[in-house]
Structure 1
Amino acid sequence: MMVSDRDDPRAVLAHLYHTAVARAQPAQQLAAHLPPPPRGRTIVVGAGKAAGAMAHALEAAWPADAPLAGCVVTRYGHTPPRPPGVPARLDILEAAHPVPDAAGEAAAARLLASVQGLTKDDLVVALISGGGSALLALPVPGLTLADLQAVTRALLASGASIGEMNVVRKHLSRIQGGRLALAAAPAPVWTLAISDVPGDDPAVIASGPTVADASTDADALAVLDRYGIALPPAVRADLAAGRHETPKPDHPRWAACTVRLIAAPHDALQAAAAEAERLGWRAYVLGDAIEGESREVAKVHAALARYARQGRGPFRPPCVILSGGETTVTVRSDPHAPSGQRPRGGRAAEFALALAQALEGDGGVWALAADTDGIDGTEDNAGAFVAPDTLARAARLGLSARAYLDRHDSYGFFAALGELFVTGPTHTNVNDFRALLLRGD
């Protein structure tokens, strides 16, 4: 089927999003990466927004006569329906994200306990996906859950990159930064991961509970100091003394550990690009590892789109421009915001709002920015649409795009326009999805 300029741009953009998400579904990718069953037991552990779907895919693919036990933890509301005919062999727990809670602390303790006392004839299968850092909340001695929650909130508001955040998390955790794999010795560990991070580094995905960590306590302190984030004095002293170091790449434990990446942002974007081409649109992928402030990344995307609309540059409309990665939002207080109003909206909707401003009503550009896990930040939307009339419709309603952006209320802005993109949890996570559709007129 060819898509013409008369077709609904929002439908095209939503279809490309769902194509990208489908490419990253565990049910489609996991079975091809499984190891053979061991002579002993197989213990499954896992964490992340895709952990429930990964557990179901493993249950479906694992031989019925081979022992299988264990548990994974996913975000509240992210456990998918059990596939018909697939017996339950694993427990799926739920906990809070992005700020950890007591359920995540209990889940992390259970995972850590489940790998104790294994032999070299046993096997640990680790199902790891984005979001696992918050879901495995097991603080180091001297750090309470409340302390960890405060550090997490401060990091989320600071504008720190995911890599910086996870350096801190690994050194404040008893399970992340390779410690889960260390606890499972001498059993081999087979990690199946879905990447949600720029560069697809397994040590960053869910703060790498089963892989080597090259970062140091000093690196974690440097991040905390860079963003002015406080720690209890005793914990800070422990980091300064190097008492929370993680197992490094030269540790002999890694000889018995294997990591397989089963889905990544690049694959999802390429699937969307291929589908766009099939539908009759030229497709360009800017990259799958774009980082930076959401509003600044939006300005660059808008400039590229407007340049292409003028018949200049490498992009030739009609086309779709795709990108991924993980942008950030540095939350700044707005003196004009109503007292007590909290920011509403994640990095995808903030990108969309900044993009609408930068496009200034260009009549030939539509866009969708959304998180591939189906939840943008802490609200109920995956992201938001931008249309040529976004700013005009907002003005008719008396809404100032700049004021909403200043107080980080992208959710409220797009909710008033009916332009929120709502999917519910997708049961996978390959991070940001951004698509700009440029008409040829």
Structure 2
Amino acid sequence: MPAHEEAVVRQQLRSLFDTAVAAANPHVVLASSLPEPPKGRCIVVGAGKASAAMAAAVEEAWPQVPMEGVVVTRYGHAVPTRHIRIVEASHPVPDAAGMQAAEDILAAVQNLSPDDLVLALISGGGSALLTLPVEGITLADKQAVNAALLASGAPIHAMNTVRKALSRIKGGKLAQAAAPARVVTLVISDVPGDDPAIIASGPTVPSATTAADALRIIREFNMEVPASVLRVLESQSEEVPKSFEADVRMIASPLQALQAAAAKAKEFGWNPLILGDAIEGESAQLGTVMAGIAASVRHYGHPIAKPAVLLSGGETTVTLGREKPGRGGRNTEFLLSLAIALKGAPGTYAIAGDTDGIDGSDDAAGAIVTPETLVRAKDASAIAADFLRRHDSYSFFATIDDLVITGPTLTNVNDVRAVLIL
């Protein structure tokens, strides 16, 4: 393909990704889900990568409603607000700022009446940002647990089962503290299946998991955690979580983002196929599988005729070994594996990225793959298989200048992957 035509395809793929992200913009999707304003006080609390933008959208939608409160978001994700205090804290490993914010949020919902409304703004990333350890667990202990979870390869529902069991605010405890006030939760989903009990570890949703479940997960994934954590979980293993009714309103989800991307693909004359919004598993393995599906489309027109774009979402994992890993996240690892498996297949391109703008802990949302990816890497003396073995996918795509940099998008509906076959 001539260089100018490839440049057009790159722009189209980037437009596809940007369209998916825009579909989850809080200023677009939040207002229609707000309840009636309360007779009493309006307390706004929240946690997650999109929580600050959600808070600003609430103020925009309710300019005449007196409100107060505090939300915690990731460093670099704050936006200006008039009444709601925005706190920035660390993600994915929690810090003291996040713990203080969680204390402040819990304090903000004390001593309320049935006429008061607690509006909880919850989005992905809230689990690490809303850190308030149970008695017997220190912040350092929670940081060690988070690091073990991130390296374990455990799926997000398993990770958040452990986090809920070690928290004084997650697993419905925030809503319980707000009683007898009405609690309405607005959620932007970043998890497979859109279960609100998993998103940010469900601070306003009753938990269906226990400390015993958390212990089982720690052992199943061979996590090394502090002895204090095991003692606390063992002491609570017989406890049963409290049940209550929760008013939860899903305002944006991974499927909505994929549907928006599919609509954009049709504008480009491509046949979109959404493979699923809840795909999990190892990122590198998914790359190999997607290369196989792309080959079927290219050679047989199955499961869809070309020009086609295969769309998928969800949250894959990268299981790290004992060797110190390189830089990268689940999307760039997926793409590097895909590029290796495609072997430069003609007319096959891909983009993948985290809709929050940060894949892993670096400054890229993801990257782009083209038929020339491996050739350009070879010209730069970059051996793709070596980078994949070291989990150094960010460095690989940085070498060939194919990272996708968006900056913080102020929303988060998990990953968007698009494989294009022309």
Give TM class, smaller chain: over 0.9
Residue equivalent to 2:32: 32
Gaps of 5+ in 2: none
Residue equivalent to 2:278: 289
Residue equivalent to 2:335: 352
Q: In structure 1, how many angstroms separate the alpha carbons of the residues matched to 2:345 and 2:378?
A: 16
Paired residue secondary structure (2:315): strand
Classify 1:438/1:144 alpha carbon distance in 2 versus 1 (closer, same or farther; 3 Å). Answer: same
C-alpha root-mean-square deviation of aligned residues, in Å?
1.5
Residue equivalent to 1:77: 76
Per-residue deviation, 1:393: 1.1
Per-residue deviation, 1:37: 1.2
Q: In structure 1, how many angstroms separate the alpha carbons of the residues matched to 2:396 and 2:7?
A: 26
Q: In structure 1, how many angstroms separate the alpha carbons of the residues matched to 2:361 and 2:114?
A: 42
Per-residue deviation, 1:102: 0.5
Q: TM-score, normalised by structure 1?
A: 0.92
Q: In structure 2, how many angstroms separate the alpha carbons of the residues matched to 1:235 and 1:432?
A: 31
Residue equivalent to 1:361: 344
Q: TM-score, normalised by structure 2?
A: 0.96
Residue equivalent to 2:407: 424
- Which residue of 117, 137, 141 corresponds with 2:135? 141
Amino acid at match of 1:284: L
Amino acid at match of 1:259: V
In the alignment, is the contact (CA less than 8 A) between 1:190 and 1:258 conserved in 2?
yes
- Which residue of 250, 268, 288 corresponds with 1:299? 288
Residue equivalent to 1:114: 108
Amino acid at match of 2:73: T
Is 2:390 the partner of 1:407?
Answer: yes
Residue equivalent to 1:217: 211
Residue equivalent to 1:68: 67
In the alignment, is the contact (CA less than 8 A) between 1:26 and 1:57 conserved in 2?
yes
Amino acid at match of 2:32: A
Residue equivalent to 1:201: 195
Amino acid at match of 1:158: S
Per-residue deviation, 1:216: 1.0
In the alignment, is the contact (CA less than 8 A) between 2:112 and 2:179 conserved in 1?
yes
Q: In structure 1, how many angstroms separate the alpha carbons of the residues matched to 2:238 and 2:187?
A: 25
Per-residue deviation, 1:98: 0.3
Q: In structure 1, how many angstroms separate the alpha carbons of the residues matched to 2:204 and 2:289?
A: 37
Q: In structure 2, how many angstroms separate the alpha carbons of the residues matched to 1:170 and 1:244?
A: 15
Residue equivalent to 1:17: 17
Q: In structure 2, how many angstroms separate the alpha carbons of the residues matched to 1:6 and 1:105?
A: 48
Residue equivalent to 1:155: 149
Per-residue deviation, 1:6: 6.7
Paired residue secondary structure (1:327): coil
Gaps of 5+ in 1: 335-340
Residue equivalent to 2:87: 93
User: Relative to structure 2, which stretch is displaced further, 416-425 or 304-313?
Assistant: 304-313
Is 2:418 the partner of 1:435?
Answer: yes
Paired residue secondary structure (1:310): helix
Q: In structure 2, how many angstroms separate the alpha carbons of the residues matched to 1:104 and 1:233?
A: 23
Paired residue secondary structure (1:292): coil
Per-residue deviation, 1:343: 2.3
Residue equivalent to 1:59: 59
Q: In structure 1, how many angstroms separate the alpha carbons of the residues matched to 2:282 and 2:115?
A: 48
- Equivalent pairs, count: 419
- Which residue of 356, 360, 379 corresponds with 2:362? 379
Q: Deviations over 1:70-113 (max 9, x none)?
A: 01010000123x4xxxx611111100000000000000000001
Classify 1:41/1:246 alpha carbon distance in 2 versus 1 (closer, same or farther; 3 Å). Answer: farther
In the alignment, is the contact (CA less than 8 A) between 1:124 and 1:184 conserved in 2?
yes
Classify 1:125/1:244 alpha carbon distance in 2 versus 1 (closer, same or farther; 3 Å). Answer: farther
Q: Deviations over 1:108-150 (max 9, x none)?
A: 0000011011111111000000000000111111111111101
Paired residue secondary structure (2:375): helix
Q: Deviations over 1:310-344 (max 9, x none)?
A: 1242221111111000000001244xxxxxx6420
Per-residue deviation, 1:279: 2.1
Residue equivalent to 1:50: 50
In the alignment, is the contact (CA less than 8 A) between 1:286 and 1:321 conserved in 2?
yes
Classify 1:246/1:103 alpha carbon distance in 2 versus 1 (closer, same or farther; 3 Å). Answer: farther
Paired residue secondary structure (2:112): coil
Identity %: 57
In the alignment, is the contact (CA less than 8 A) between 1:9 and 1:437 conserved in 2?
no
Per-residue deviation, 1:230: 3.6
- Which residue of 343, 346, 355 corresponds with 2:326? 343
In the alignment, is the contact (CA less than 8 A) between 1:44 and 1:124 conserved in 2?
yes
- Which residue of 170, 174, 180 corresponds with 1:176? 170
Classify 1:6/1:148 alpha carbon distance in 2 versus 1 (closer, same or farther; 3 Å). Answer: closer
Q: In structure 1, how many angstroms separate the alpha carbons of the residues matched to 2:23 and 2:30?
A: 12
Paired residue secondary structure (2:293): helix
Amino acid at match of 2:256: D
In the alignment, is the contact (CA less than 8 A) between 2:13 and 2:351 conserved in 1?
yes
Per-residue deviation, 1:236: 1.9
Amino acid at match of 1:214: A
Paired residue secondary structure (2:316): strand
Q: Deviations over 1:126-184 (max 9, x none)?
A: 00000000001111111111111011111101101111100000000110010000100
In the alignment, is the contact (CA less than 8 A) between 2:148 and 2:225 conserved in 1?
no
